[in-house]
Amino acid sequence: MKTPQEIVARTPNRTEVRTSSLFFLLTFSAILFLTTSSCKKDAGIVETRLAVSKKDCSIPTNYDIVEFSVVNKSLCFAIGKSGNNMKIFKTADGGTSWLELPLPNGVVSQYEMDVQSIVFFDENNGAFTANNEAYRTYDGGQTWTTILTTDYTGNNSIYDFCFVGKNEAGEMILAESNENAWYDNHIVTSLPSSADYTIVHHFPHSGIHPDYCNYSNGRLHYLTRNFNFWDGEIHIYDFNTNDMETWDIIGNIPLDVHHADGKTVIVTEYGKIYFHNWYSNDWNVSSYNFHDHDYTAIDYVNDFYIAVAQSSISTNYTGVWEEALDDSGNGHSEYFMQVQKIDDKSVYISGKQGLFIQATFK
């Protein structure tokens, strides 16, 4: 197998290829190649296949790695879940070794599907949310405190947080989801090493009870995905305009969302990828749909997206959606769950039973 240095050293040669229905860009190199046969799909897209080099950085545990936070290529924090139990892990050497961190006092287990998010800013300051409670650390996860603030009237405690993340300014973002409570939902910011909080927005409950959020490029997205019913909406707060929008979604339940390069994309159950068209409340479904596995996560790397499903790494690196195979031209046998950007050429991908890999595309 070629080393990462050998892969990076090769300069791609881009060639324009014309089909009967569209033009698209194909990249040839030792790591990115066409298969000997192409398969034409119903939508008229010619399937090309590109390879991805994988480095095994797996965590020695049988816990599923359901959420993680990349500080840099070497430093990552991850949450594992097995049944109702959870663990927190840390690596400072890019996955060569992992350390299990203590849980907050009194937190032994969490209910199914209620590990929600984790974010770290450096080796000391970070936070995570589980069961709609938020915990933060100032010493690298050795001790934890429960995040509790006061709302804009000074009468109600804010604690039902379903998401913690970070914005481009390096601030912590907390999103509250009050489920069926009567009081407002709040969006809160805090500096990474501070114990002070600022409420930047609040909005009436109005039946909104999201259980999943994602922040990307100035937008905080609220999704409802783990209830027995689905309201068919995505709620978006724009930090730049201080506006709150609600978009209808018709189709499958969305499982992750990302905003980049002026576009919003959602990935859903049954292998669907949708882009918002910005002209109405409609979505354009991508013609890419080569499997029916649930897409669980998506991230924007440089000028392309990477989405993961059960045993699928999918990307529009060449301009059309494709399956990213391993560097031997084979499919994947792993069960993937999350993806997050490292740099402009690689991502970390987590999955079942401690799976944690570094995937390089260039």
pLDDT for the residue numbered 3: 37
Report d(CA 33, CA 53) in Å as an integer: 12
Residues counted in the chain = 362
The per-residue pLDDT for 278 is: 65
Are the beta carbons of 150 and 164 closer than 8 angstroms?
Answer: no
Question: Which tokens hold the place of 297?
Answer: 């996560």
Query: CA 50 to CA 322: how far, in whole Å?
Result: 7
Q: Which pLDDT score, from 0 to 100, does residue 214 have?
A: 92
Q: Which H or E run includes 4?
A: helix 4-9
Q: Is 6 helix (H, G, I), strand (E, B) or coil?
A: helix
Q: Report the C-alpha gap between 162 and 156 in whole angstroms.
A: 17
Q: How far apart are CA 285 and CA 64, in angstroms?
A: 30
329-353 CB burial, b ≥16 within 10 A, e <16: eeebebbbbbbbebeeebbbbbbee
Q: Per-residue pLDDT tens, the chain, 362 aa: give them.
A: 333 333 233 333 333 333 333 332 233 233 333 232 233 233 333 334 567 888 999 999 999 999 999 999 999 999 999 988 899 999 999 999 999 999 998 776 555 447 889 999 999 999 999 888 899 999 999 999 999 877 666 656 677 888 999 999 999 999 987 655 566 788 999 999 999 999 898 876 655 567 789 999 999 998 876 555 555 778 899 999 999 888 887 677 889 999 998 888 999 888 888 888 665 567 776 656 668 899 999 999 988 899 999 999 998 888 878 888 877 777 888 999 999 999 988 999 999 999 999 998 76
State residue 206's pLDDT score: 58
pLDDT at 208: 59
Contact 73, 343 (CB under 8 A): yes
Position 109 scores a pLDDT of: 59
Task: Tell me what pLDDT residue 150 has.
Answer: 74
Domains in the chain and their CATH numbers?
53-360 (2.130.10.10)
Distance CA 320, CA 304 (A): 10
Pair of tokens at residue 40: 């034409």
